[in-house]
Amino acid sequence: HSADAHRTDLMTITRFVLNEQSKHAESRGDFTILLSHIVLGCKFVCSAVNKAGLAKLIGLAGETNVQGEEQKKLDVLSNEVFVKALVSSGRTCILVSEEDELAIVVEPSKRGKYCVVFDPLDGSSNIDCGVSIGTIFGIYMIKDHSEPKLEDALQPGKDMVAAGYCMYGSSCTLVLSTGSGVNGFTLDPSLGEFILTHPDIKIPKKGKIYSVNEGNARNWDAPTAKYVEKCKFPKDGSSAKSLRYIGSMVADVHRTLLYGGIFLYPADKKSPNGKLRVLYEVFPMSFLMEQAGGQAFTGKERALDLVPKKIHERSPIFLGSYDDVEEIKALYAEEQ
Ligand code: AHM
Ligand code: MG
């Protein structure tokens, strides 16, 4: 048991990704460089999130401080940090951020072959009360970086080369997939490094937890309503599922990934496309779920097959344990 406490052979995220990339003969280290800039952004946001409570106490967050300087809101600050980190990596050419209405086309001298889609700080309703929030990102390779086009950002989710999230919770955890499984890294604050703590994450085949905003129940469609009813009153003699809902996608998905179960943000009568955004919420989380052995479904199709038409498009999403998603798929199939 003391072996872990005195571990001296540390698998940092950079070392891990370098190892992984060296398996590809054509790799020239571009992805590793890109990722290290994303990691820097995550560390910065983690530090800002950790200080936010204190800063507020002395009148910093979002308002003018004692010196009369304007302070930026955490979500705006996070966006700036990620945009700057990504551009300066020299490895990106198109960026899509939840915070920016238009895609950012990187200036020619700083262009590389990757397109990054991201939500710099997701879980806006949880920011001010110090509950877990996170960053979500997905990475595409583009066809021709001398002439980046919007279509480069509108590829189906299955074409992502990597996806991940960083959760700013009781610890800072970065979960990443480069298309061969899912691995989790925890920030060791004393080293300032993400260390591999959750190698080869596999989601349990079936779970005991469902996660949904039940306040929207009156507007649900029939399959969603039937499914949630089954979670609470199973007819096959199995025990009822527990409900857990934080309202931060990163935290709710992270728990789902580790404990198993299902996360739902369905369509409803008021929002026929649900709430969550395809590019930087639905796709990266669906990519991770599939890589961990789970499934992700939109109510119509495999989530990663969706081809977005607009960068801020929304989609309903059901993701999690293989068997649990299978059940909701069956209910939608019955509807047909
Ligand atoms: P945001 O981008 O404004 O933060 O909204 C996204 C968040 C997700 O993190 C979370 O899954 C969802 O909204 C919760 O929505 P609701 O409050 O409707 O349950
Ligand atoms: Mg968001």
Instruction: Look up residue 245 and give its amino acid.
Output: Y
Statement: residue 218 has pLDDT above 60: yes
d(CA 17, CA 11): 10
User: What does the CA dihedral 263, 266, 271, 275 come to, rounded to 10 degrees?
Assistant: 20
For 25, 85, 97, the CA distances from 150, given in Å and listed in that order, are: 29, 21, 13
Q: Which residue has the higher pLDDT, 184 or 56?
A: 184
Q: What type of residue is 317?
A: I
What pLDDT is attached to residue 58? 61
For residue 121, which of 87, 53, 168, 51 has the smallest C-alpha distance?
A: 168
pLDDT tens sequence across 225-244: 999 999 999 998 999 999 99
- The residue type found at 310 is K
Q: What is the mean pLDDT of residues 8-29?
A: 86
Give the chain's length: 336
What's the rounded mean pLDDT across residues 14-31? 85
ipTM > 0.85 for the complex = yes
pLDDT of the residue at 148: 86
Give the residue carrying structure tokens 């496309």: 273
CA separation, residue 86 to residues 15, 34, 38, 92, 153 (Å): 20, 7, 7, 7, 15
When pLDDT is cut at 50, 70 and 90, the band that residue 71 belongs to is low
Indicate whether residue 123 lines ligand 1 (CB < 6 A): yes
Q: What does pLDDT average to over the chain?
A: 92
Higher-confidence residue of 213 and 20: namely 213
Averaged pLDDT for residues 319-336:
96
Whether residue 16 contacts residue 165, with contact meaning beta carbons closer than 8 Å, is answered with no
pLDDT computed for residue 3 by the predictor: 54
| pTM of the complete model | 0.94
Q: What is the atom index within ligand 1 of the atom nearest the CA of 124?
A: 4
Ligand 1 atom 4: the closest Cα is on which residue?
Answer: 123
- Cα gap 204→9, rounded to integer Å: 29
For ligand 1, say whether the CB of 124 is within 6 Å of any of its atoms: yes
pLDDT band at 213 (very low <50, low <70, confident <90, very high): very high
**What separation in Å is there between the alpha carbon of 247 and the centre of ligand 1?**
6
> Does the beta carbon of 156 lie inside 6 Å of ligand 1?
no
Average pLDDT over residues 41-67: 76
* Nearest CA, atom 14, ligand 1: 247
Indicate whether 14 pLDDT > 90: yes
- Inter-CA distances, 247 with 42, 127, 155, 269, Å: 20, 11, 28, 20
